[in-house]
Amino acid sequence: MSESVGRVLGTEDATPLSFWVGVGPEAYAQLDDVLTTERQVPGVGTVRISGVVTSVRSRHEGAQFDSDVFDIAGGLLPAQVQEAAEVTVTRVEPEVFVPPRPGAEVQRAAGEDRDRALYFDGMARQVPLGFSRDGQPVFLNPDFLDGTRGAHVSISGISGVATKTSFATWMLYSLLHSGALGAEAANTKALIFNVKGEDLLLLDHDNTKIDETVRDSYRRLGMEPGAFKSVEVLAPPREGDSNGVPDVACRSTGVDAFYWTLAEFCQLGLLPFVFADGDDDRQQYTMVVHQVAARLRKEARPKDNGAISVDGQLLTSYRDLVELVCERLSDDETRTEWAGSAIGLGTVNAFIRRLIASGRDIGRLIRGDLPPKGAVLTSDAQVTVVDLHNLPDRAQRFVVGVVLRTEFERKEKAGTARPLQFVVLDELNKYAPREGTSPIKDILLDIAERGRSLGVILIGAQQTASEVERRIASNSAIRVVGRLDAAEATRPEYGFLTQAQRMRVLMAKPGTMFVAQPELPVPLVVNFPFPAWATRPAEAGSAPAATARSGRAMSPTAKVDPFDLAGDDEDDIPF
C-alpha cells in the first residue's frame, strides 16, 4: 500500500476540484507531490480522487497572537505545529464529482496510482519531459504534439534564466529518441533558428561536461544520452566573401551557407520579406513594395550563376538590383510602371530610402555570383539549424520569413502531414507581435492555424506571451513556462497556472519548467536533464561520423577540416 500522508481537513471546504490535507506528524507533503484518496459513494462504489499538491502551509495551532510564537519557542506556551497541503484535483475516477470526506486517509500516489492521477496511463505513447520534484518521470502525450489531437508548443520565460531554447531542443531530442514517434521518428525533420550566440550549432557534438548522474537520468527516462545524430548547420555567407563561405566560428564540418540568387529573389517574389518589420507595415510604401516585386518577377531574365538581366542590363549583386530599382523609380518616365499609378513622390522616396538601407543588411544573402541552391532546405539531415545570430535584424526577419514560407509551401504541396516538420523559433514576440501585421506574422499565423493538418509544428519561444499574437498562443496545445517576470506572470495569458504556481514561476530555477498539456487540469512542474549535447564550444566532444556526411558534402562551399580527413587523431606530431 502507498505511504499515508495525512487526512482530508474538515476545517477547510473539500470540493471535487480541490481539497486540503492535514499532514500527519510523521509525514510530509511537498509541492507537486501526487496524492490520492478514496470515498465510498452509494450506488457507485469506490471513487478515487487524485491530485497534485499546489500549496503547503504550516502553522501553530493554539497561538492567538503573533507574539505567542516567542512563548511557544521559549517553551512557555503549548502549541501544535500543523502542516496542511492543498491538493488540486487532476482526476476523479469514475467521474462522479463528489468531494472527499473530511477525515479520509490521503496517500502518496506511487506507481500505477500516480500514472492514473496524471493521465499517464491513458497515453498510448509517452514523450519524457523530465522529472517532477519527487524524482519521478513526467510525460507528455505526443498526440498533442504531432497533430493527432493538437499541435504547437508555446514556451515563455525571461531571457537567460528560463532556459527556453534548451527546453525546446530537449523536447525535440526526447521526441526523436524516446521512441514515442515509432518508425516515423527517422523521417521527422526539425528546423531550428539559432538567434543568439552559437548555442545551437553544436547539437551533434557530445557534451563532455555531463557526468554519470546526467547520463543516468536520460536512461531512467528511457533513452540513451547523446547528441543529435544528424544535424546540418546553415549559416549566412561571410560578409564580403565572394565564394559564399559560411560565417561560423565554432565548427567547420556539417556547415553550409544559405543564400538566394537574384533570379530566385525575383521569381519567388521575396522583396516583401525585406520589408517585414512591423514598422514597415504602417507605412504607405507597402503598395510600392508589391508593385516592384511584381515588376521584377515580370522583367527579370535569369542568367548564369543566379544573375539576372533586366531590360538587357546584367545584375550580379543585390546592390546592382537596388540601384536599378532606384533608378527606375527616380525616373519620371518609368516611375508609374514600377511604383504603380497615383503614388506620391514622398512615398516612393520613403521606399527608396529603405531599399538602399537594406542593401547593407541583405546584400550578402542575395547573390548573383553563386550557383543557385534550389530551396534552402533540401537537406537530408534530420535537424537543420539556420544560424541567424550574425545577421542584423532586417536580415533575420528576411531569412525567417523566406525559409518559413518555403517550408510551408513545400508541405502544402506535398499534401500529407507526414513526415512531420518541427520549427523551433525563438523571439516569437518579434516575428509575430500582437499589434500590426507583417508577412512573417501571416505565415506564422498560417502555421499556427493550418500547420496541424499540414504537419508543420511550431515550437515557439518568447519572453512574454502577452506580446505575441493571441491566435498563435491560443493554438498551442502545449504551453510551457519558465521563470517569468513578476508583472508578466499576472497577465491573463498565464491563466492556466494555478495561483501558487504564478508565485513559483517568479523564482523558477534554470531547468525547471511548468508544462501545461490539454489532458491535465494542472500544469506539471518538470526538471529536465542537462543537455547531453554541447551548448558551447568548450563542452563539445567529438562530432559523430555522420556529420562529415553532411547533406550537401559536395557543395562547393563545404569546407572540410584537413585534420579530420586524416582520420587518425591518435597520431602525434611525427617529430
At its nearest, how many Å lie between other proteins and the CB of residue 29?
Answer: 22
Q: Which is nearer to other proteins, 11 or 341 (CB)?
A: 11
At its nearest, how many Å lie between other proteins and the CB of residue 82?
Answer: 13
What interhelical angle do 345-362 and 318-330 show, nearest 10? Answer: 170
List, as one string, the DSSP characters of 115-166.
Answer: HHHTTGGG-SS-EEEEE-TTS-EEEE-GGGTBSSS-B-EEEE--TTTS-HHH
Query: How many angstroms separate the CA atoms of 351 and 370, rounded?
Result: 28
Q: Which is nearer to other proteins, 68 or 337 (CB)?
A: 68
Cell numbers found for residue 445 = 499565423
CA angle 216, 220, 225 (to 5 degrees): 50
How far is residue 216 from each of residues 33, 416, 526, measured CA to CA in Å? 23, 38, 17
Q: Which is nearer to other proteins, 68 or 449 (CB)?
A: 68
At its nearest, how many Å lie between other proteins and the CB of residue 103?
Answer: 16
- Using CB atoms within 10 Å of the CB of residue 312, give its burial: 0 to 12 exposed, 13 to 18 middle, 19+ buried: exposed
Please report, as a single letter, which amino acid is at residue 118.
L
Residues that bind other proteins (CB under 8 A): 62, 64-65, 67-68, 71-80
Residue with cell 506571451: 465
Q: Which is nearer to other proteins, 65 or 575 (CB)?
A: 65
Cell numbers found for residue 9 = 481537513
Q: Which is nearer to other proteins, 59 or 301 (CB)?
A: 59
Query: How many angstroms separate the CA atoms of 340 and 328, rounded?
Result: 12
Q: Which is nearer to other proteins, 17 or 72 (CB)?
A: 72
Q: Which is nearer to other proteins, 26 or 224 (CB)?
A: 26
Residue whose C-alpha is closest to residue 40's, from 112, 101, 107, 89: 101
At its nearest, how many Å lie between other proteins and the CB of residue 60?
Answer: 10
CA angle 525, 526, 528 (to 5 degrees): 165
At its nearest, how many Å lie between other proteins and the CB of residue 483?
Answer: 35
At its nearest, how many Å lie between other proteins and the CB of residue 429?
Answer: 51
At its nearest, how many Å lie between other proteins and the CB of residue 74?
Answer: 5
CA–centroid distance for 207 within its chain: 21
The DSSP bridge pattern shows strands 421-425 and 189-194 to be parallel
Q: Which is nearer to other proteins, 13 or 61 (CB)?
A: 61
At its nearest, how many Å lie between other proteins and the CB of residue 81?
Answer: 10
